[in-house]
Amino acid sequence: MDYRKLGHSGAVVTAYCLGTMTFGAEADEAASHKLLDDYFAWGGNFIDTADVYSAGTSEEIIGRWLKSRPTEAKQAVIATKGRFPMGPGPNDVGLSRRHLNQALDASLARLGIEHIDLYQMHAWDALTPIEETLRFLDDAVCAGKIGYYGFSNYVGWQIAKAAEIAKARGYTRPVTLQPQYNLLVRDIELEIVAACQDAGMGLLPWSPLGGGWLTGKYRRDHMPTGATRLGENPNRGMESYAQRNAQERTWSIIETVEAIASARGVSMAQVALAWTAARPAVTSVILGARTSEQLADNLAAASLILSEEEITKLSDVSQPHLSDYPYGASGTNQRHRKIEGGR
């Protein structure tokens, strides 16, 4: 079993985390509990949820599972998030002390626990001073309500600012960032990964399969059908589907993943997941399976070690398109190459 430190903390989690956004929406309680059982039987110990997942239902489903599985509950590392609206009032949203105090207590109640291991800010809040948010989180750690905290969907300057303010004021420092990261979406490598590494924060990638694209579900210029999110709900996300479908880079990446998967006798999902898990600063990859079969296939990625040649092929074909400046040939990337080469 591959255990990794949760950022710069002393806690350890498995390299693959069970994401629960589907709980209460695409998976009912029985199916959700089966996914949790299967994941822990495999050896996993890390569960990620959020208060807004199915309007709190995901946390409630997990809470009832924890209560019915005391042995697994002792081993489980629980992560949840707060920030987005959980009510109609003007203070039912954001990262203010007022909202977070209510949101955290509500999450604890739904989960049926007294302590959350990792409490994550679901997105930046431009209206609330970052000092207010960080002080609340430090107080929550001191009160024993949370063990650690992290961010989700923050950009580089936001991460750096928060980490430096926490350090300067002697507050508990953030340990993780949860960003979208996969072979199709690598823009976090421009600044966000470096900001996390500088702060000693680990990455918890969400959507590591690019919304199903990296599993081979979709084919060039064929409208999605059948048991896919787009196939079941064609009006949802069709604009982004059309944009991705029109990019030659998309199909070059998919073809490379498919070729490596075929040569290794594994699924495309396993190849894509293994690449993400091997990236610098990654602590745990969040799996969003809807069925036990999907989860089993995804977890098999833990046994797949890609060769340097395979990693290079995948990395080269998926390089993000950069403008010339500041990240392109005459900007940051060129400067890095010169420094690495001894100028």
Residue 175 has which token pair?
């340990």
For residue 298, count CB atoms less than 10 angstroms from its CB and return exposed for 0-12, middle for 13-18, buried for 19 or more. buried
CA distance 68 to 29: 13
Residue 136 has which token pair?
């609340």
Answer yes or no: are the C-beta atoms of 117 and 79 closer than 8 Å: yes
Cβ neighbors of 268 (< 8 A, separation 6 or more) are: 214, 215, 216, 254, 257, 258, 261
Answer yes or no: are the C-beta atoms of 213 and 15 closer than 8 Å: no
Coil, strand, or helix at residue 197?
helix
Cβ neighbors of 200 (< 8 A, separation 6 or more) are: 7, 8, 173, 175
Residue 24 has which token pair?
């209460």
Reply yes or no: is the peptide bond before residue 179 cis, omega within 30 of 0: no
Helix (H) or strand (E) holding 150: strand 146-152
Active site residues: 53
CA distance 90 to 334: 47
CB environment 171-183: b (16+ within 10 A), e (fewer): bbbbbbbbbbbbb
Answer yes or no: are the C-beta atoms of 141 and 173 closer than 8 Å: no
